[in-house]
């Protein structure tokens, strides 16, 4: 399996280099670059699945390395194999999609650089989840952030792209600073840069050290994952990147933070404390609720999807928070179930969110707008894209028999398993969290009813929609692969959970087996609260639908079905202005949650001096971002004021600068003397 690992890295490198230096035409260049990325993804799927199915873990020691910093070693254990599989299968689909997408008029500029950054971005993600050294992990983490930054500002001539890139650059480096602090605290206690000594030394850490490391890791990885209130970069950055890159950023890049958090919680820090789980659950439920509430208000399609990713990160953190709590209270089987629920949703989110972004990219490539107010009626122009968007919308809304339902059901049950805890607090709050998760799921369904209805149903609202057409074969194939995954990941739930159980065993020991909650085709939670058979549910739904279709055919007959124009109350022709708009659809919720949104509206009327002679009317509604206006803008203003005052020490006199250095050296010598 080491050969496939090396081949994967080699193909990504080859694809990036070829993109920069090949002299072929842009169309063939795009095909070759993304084809190599797709082959690399296929290689990654081979060895990652082999490890998950029981093959020995892949280990590769790179011959080069810095002696003082430890060896540059790559190891693919079950946890790494799971994330390599996610990166590989999604990059395979996006690479196929990108072959056609990069030929559209929107991306003709800068295709060679885009191909290089695309391959380099995926390569760094694979290296992040497989490297086993603190120093090199931070190097690859930073390279991943830099590559994604340049992809975000790919259209740097647009002010909104530059603004999004700046916010992303600042927030990701704040997160990196906290991650670095967590690793430094670990290094101080172990004296090693390698991962294995960190895990071995975990039981010897004092509670104070463990709490400090946990807080640094939670803030650092939470910023990368888009956890509220560290989320402000995500809805800005994801819409600006090319759509196939947005699919990777939302589908797998933010999940590298979940990978790092899991390593800290269950491997580097040993047995967690119960309050860690409570802290994670608080951030999780806020991310879940605020993410979907802000998604409901969005008119820009890709920004809506970005806010939805925050909501799904919250669902993943709900499972992780319960796993931490169960592990702290010596309930490894329940903790294993909760981890499996979280990892299952990580995988499902990669599939349906990747498909949503690819579908959005298909719409953008044909209509050249992401504003839902200008779309409509695309189901007649782009039926395949509409079908794929509908599948992913149903999956993210947790509707059976698709994959989103299975993982959200597992997360819901893991919350209800809090009844089995000895803690009175968790027995009280777990059902409340479960009810809030159910409420958030209903809001998600509302959000994507709005998105699908406004974009694909009704009549076209602009000329660009009327002139659009279905995308080419490669784009349809990339979307079709992910649509199939949304179904297969549900039907194969018992097999997938058995594989994810091996990851849980890595955390909680060999005594935790997936057989505790998998009985052939049935999923049974360890607490005995419920059971579910995804394959049987799928068969039952198919049978019911077929029966309805057959009954309709038999009793109604073909001749009684007529297709005609929409009923219009006597009006000669329906106007696009008669349809629901995205703003109008979400207005009831905007009024209900006005305490959060703080909406403002402006109405402009031109009536030429008399109401009867009104000639024009303009309505504008705006939702104020709570966290940006109450926290980040005041903080930014305060930093600016402090910076101006600190700037006074820059006098330009070298004598003063030398005195600064002298004082610093004296203070360091005093510190070293006192620390002996």
514-559: per-residue pLDDT in tens?
666 776 667 777 766 667 777 777 788 888 888 887 887 777 665 5
pLDDT of residue 426: 82
> CA-CA distance, 629 to 621, in Å (whole number)?
17
| Residues 520-529 pLDDT 10s | 667 777 766 6
Residue 411: strand, helix, or coil: helix
Residue 330 neighbours by CB under 8 Å, 6+ apart: none
Lowest mean pLDDT among 144-158, 406-420, 503-517, 551-565: 551-565
| Residues 310-351 pLDDT 10s | 999 999 999 999 999 999 888 888 899 999 999 999 999 999
The residue ranking higher by pLDDT, 561 or 539, is: 539
Under the banding of pLDDT at 50, 70 and 90, the label for residue 293 is very high
Instruction: Please confirm whether the linkage preceding 101 is cis (ω < 30° from 0).
Output: no
> CA-CA distance, 195 to 132, in Å (whole number)?
5
pLDDT of residue 42: 94
User: In angstroms, what CA-CA distances link 240 with 237, 303, 442?
Assistant: 5, 9, 28
Lowest mean pLDDT among 144-153, 273-282, 364-373, 643-652: 643-652
pLDDT of residue 590: 84
| Residues 390-429 pLDDT 10s | 999 999 999 988 899 999 999 998 898 888 777 777 888 8
| Residues 651-667 pLDDT 10s | 777 878 888 888 889 88
Dig out the tokens for 371 from the structure: 């504003």
Nearest to 467 by CA among 580, 382, 360: 382
pLDDT of residue 606: 66
Q: Which helix (H) or strand (E) holds 602?
A: strand 600-606
Whether 88 and 39 have beta carbons less than 8 Å apart is answered as: no
pLDDT of residue 625: 78
pLDDT at residue 615 is higher than 70: no
DSSP 532: E
Residue 152 neighbours by CB under 8 Å, 6+ apart: 161, 164, 165, 168, 237, 240, 241
> CA-CA distance, 476 to 470, in Å (whole number)?
9
Neighbouring C-beta atoms of residue 579, cutoff 10 Å: 17
Phi, psi of 280 (to 5 degrees): -65, -40
pLDDT of residue 33: 87
The residue ranking higher by pLDDT, 448 or 535, is: 448
pLDDT of residue 618: 66
Q: How far is CA 310 from the centre of its chain?
A: 7
Long-range contact set of residues 491-497: C-beta below 8 Å, sequence gap at least 24: 491/401, 491/534, 491/535, 491/538, 493/344, 493/406, 493/523, 493/534, 493/535, 494/518, 494/520, 494/521, 494/522, 494/523, 494/534, 494/535, 496/344, 496/347, 497/340, 497/344, 497/523
pLDDT of residue 68: 65
H and E: helices and strands count for the chain: 27, 7
Ramachandran assignment for 376, one of left (phi > 0), alpha (psi -120 to 50 degrees), beta (any other): left
**SS3 letters for 18-51?**
HHHHCCCCHHHHHHHHHHHHHHHHHHHHHHHHHH
| Residues 207-246 pLDDT 10s | 888 999 999 999 999 999 999 988 889 998 888 889 999 9
pLDDT of residue 676: 59
pLDDT at residue 621 is higher than 90: no
The per-residue b/e assignment along 293-329, b for 16 or more CB within 10 angstroms, e otherwise, is bbbbbbbbbbbbbbbbbbbbbbbbbbbbbbbbbbbbb
pLDDT of residue 612: 59
Residue 509: strand, helix, or coil: coil
pLDDT at residue 633 is higher than 90: no
User: In angstroms, what CA-CA distances link 180 with 137, 187, 440, 582?
Assistant: 10, 10, 34, 43
pLDDT of residue 417: 86
Dig out the tokens for 428 from the structure: 């009280």
pLDDT of residue 557: 65
| Residues 40-69 pLDDT 10s | 999 999 999 999 998 888 888 877 666 667
> CA-CA distance, 159 to 162, in Å (whole number)?
5
Dig out the tokens for 491 from the structure: 């039907």
Whether 213 and 265 have beta carbons less than 8 Å apart is answered as: no
Under the banding of pLDDT at 50, 70 and 90, the label for residue 292 is very high
- Percent of the chain past pLDDT 90, that is, above it, reads 41
Under the banding of pLDDT at 50, 70 and 90, the label for residue 374 is confident
> CA-CA distance, 443 to 91, in Å (whole number)?
30
pLDDT of residue 111: 75
The residue ranking higher by pLDDT, 625 or 22, is: 625
Neighbouring C-beta atoms of residue 146, cutoff 10 Å: 16
pTM score: 0.90
Phi, psi of 59 (to 5 degrees): -135, 130
Q: Which helix (H) or strand (E) holds 523?
A: strand 522-524
Q: Which helix (H) or strand (E) holds 275?
A: helix 274-297
pLDDT of residue 314: 94
Can you name the residues that pair with 165 across neighbouring β-strands? none
pLDDT of residue 388: 95
pLDDT of residue 610: 59
DSSP 417: G
**What is the overall mean pLDDT for the chain?**
85
The residue ranking higher by pLDDT, 547 or 467, is: 547
Whether 304 and 449 have beta carbons less than 8 Å apart is answered as: no
Phi, psi of 61 (to 5 degrees): -100, 115
> CA-CA distance, 283 to 299, in Å (whole number)?
26
pLDDT of residue 545: 82
Tell me whether residue 369 is exposed, middle or buried, using C-beta atoms within 10 angstroms of its C-beta: 0 to 12, 13 to 18, 19 or more. middle
Domain boundaries, the chain: 587-622, 626-675
pLDDT of residue 420: 76
User: In angstroms, what CA-CA distances link 539 with 294, 393, 523?
Assistant: 36, 21, 16
424-456 and 301-328 helices, crossing angle to 10°: 160
Dig out the tokens for 604 from the structure: 């402009």
pLDDT at residue 183 is higher than 80: yes
Rg of the chain over all Cα atoms, to the nearest angstrom: 26
| Residues 87-131 pLDDT 10s | 999 999 999 999 888 876 555 566 778 889 999 999 999 999 999
């Amino acid at each position: 399996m080491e050969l496939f690992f090396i081949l994967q890295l080699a193909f990504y490198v080859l694809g990036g280099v070829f993109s920069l230096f090949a002299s072929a035409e842009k169309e063939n260049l795009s095909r070759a670059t993304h084809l190599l990325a797709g082959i690399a993804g296929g290689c990654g799927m081979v060895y990652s699945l082999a490890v998950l199915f029981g093959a020995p873990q892949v280990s590769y020691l790179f011959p080069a390395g810095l002696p003082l910093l430890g060896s540059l070693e790559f190891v693919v254990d079950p946890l790494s194999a799971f994330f390599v599989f996610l990166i590989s299968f999604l990059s395979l689909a996006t690479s196929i999609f990108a072959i056609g997408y990069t030929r559209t008029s929107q991306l003709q500029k800068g295709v060679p650089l885009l191909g290089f950054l695309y391959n380099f971005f995926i390569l760094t993600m694979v290296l992040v989840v497989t490297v086993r050294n603190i120093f090199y992990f931070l190097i690859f983490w930073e390279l991943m952030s830099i590559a994604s930054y340049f992809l975000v500002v790919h259209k740097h001539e647009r002010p909104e792209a530059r603004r999004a890139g700046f916010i992303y650059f600042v927030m990701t480096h704040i997160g990196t600073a906290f991650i670095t602090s967590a690793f430094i605290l670990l290094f101080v206690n172990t004296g090693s840069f390698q991962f294995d000594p960190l895990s071995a030394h975990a039981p010897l850490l004092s509670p104070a050290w463990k709490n400090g490391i946990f807080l640094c890791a939670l803030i650092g990885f939470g910023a990368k994952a888009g956890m509220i209130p560290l989320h402000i970069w995500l809805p800005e950055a994801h819409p600006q990147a090319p759509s196939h890159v947005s699919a990777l950023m939302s589908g797998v890049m933010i999940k590298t933070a979940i990978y790092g958090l899991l390593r800290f919680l269950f491997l580097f820090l040993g047995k967690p404390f119960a309050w860690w789980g409570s802290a994670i659950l608080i951030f999780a439920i806020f991310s879940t609720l605020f993410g979907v509430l802000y998604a409901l208000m969005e008119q820009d399609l890709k920004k809506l999807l970005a806010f939805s990713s925050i909501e799904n990160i919250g669902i993943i953190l709900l499972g992780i928070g319960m796993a931490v709590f169960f592990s702290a209270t010596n309930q490894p089987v329940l903790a294993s179930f909760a981890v499996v629920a979280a990892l299952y949703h990580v995988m499902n989110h990669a599939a349906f969110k990747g498909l949503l972004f690819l579908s959005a990219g298909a719409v953008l490539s044909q209509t050249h707008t992401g504003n839902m107010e200008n779309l409509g009626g695309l189901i007649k122009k782009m039926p395949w894209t509409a079908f794929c968007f509908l599948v992913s919308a149903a999956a993210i809304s947790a509707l059976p028999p698709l994959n989103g339902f299975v993982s959200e059901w597992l997360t819901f049950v893991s919350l209800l398993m809090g009844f089995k805890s000895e803690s009175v607090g968790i027995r009280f709050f777990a059902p409340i969290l479960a009810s809030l998760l159910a409420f958030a799921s209903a809001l998600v369904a509302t959000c994507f009813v709005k998105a699908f209805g406004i974009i694909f149903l009704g009549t076209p609202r602009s000329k660009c929609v009327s002139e659009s057409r279905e995308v080419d074969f490669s784009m349809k194939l990339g979307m079709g692969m992910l649509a199939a995954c949304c179904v297969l990941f549900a039907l194969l739930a018992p097999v997938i959970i058995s594989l994810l159980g091996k990851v849980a065993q890595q955390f909680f020991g060999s005594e935790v087996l997936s057989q505790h909650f998998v009985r052939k085709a049935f999923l049974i939670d360890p607490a005995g609260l419920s059971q579910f058979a995804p394959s049987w549910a799928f068969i039952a739904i198919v049978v019911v639908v077929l029966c309805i279709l057959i009954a309709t055919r038999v009793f109604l007959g073909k001749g009684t079905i007529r297709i005609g124009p929409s009923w219009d109350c006597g009006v000669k022709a329906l106007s696009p202005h008669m349809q629901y708009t995205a703003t109008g659809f979400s207005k009831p919720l905007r009024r209900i949650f006005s305490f959060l949104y703080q909406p403002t509206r402006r109405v402009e009327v031109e009536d030429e001096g008399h109401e009867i002679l009104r000639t024009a009317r303009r309505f504008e509604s705006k939702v104020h971002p709570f966290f940006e206006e109450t926290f980040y803008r005041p903080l930014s203003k305060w930093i600016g004021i402090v910076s101006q005052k600190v700037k006074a020490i820059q006098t330009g006199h070298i004598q003063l600068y030398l005195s600064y250095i002298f004082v610093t050296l004296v203070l360091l010598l005093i510190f070293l003397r006192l620390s002996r």
